[in-house]
Amino acid sequence: MQQRAEEAGTHPALSGQHVLVTGASRGIGLSIARRLAAAGAHVSLLARDPVRLAEAEAELRAETGAQLQSAAVDLTDIDAIGPALAALEAKAGPLAALVNNAGTGKSTPFARMTDAHWQEMLAVNLTSAFALTRAVVPGMVERGQGRIVNVASTAGLTGYAYVAAYCAAKHGLVGLTRALAVELAGKGITVNAVCPGYTATDMLDATLDNITAKTGRSREEALKSLVAGNPQGRPVQPEEVAEAVAFLLSPAAAAVNGTCLPVDGGEVLK
Q: Annotated active-site positions, please?
A: 166
Rounded Cα gap, residues 191 and 10, in angstroms: 19
Rg, the chain, Cα only:
18
Dist CA 65 CA 38 (whole Å): 8
Quote the CA–CA distance of 124 and 119 in Å, as a whole number: 9
CB 20 within 8 A of CB 97: yes
Task: Collect all residues with Cβ–Cβ distance below 8 Å to 256 and sequence separation of at least 6.
Answer: 190, 192, 248
Q: How far is CA 14 from the centre of its chain?
A: 18
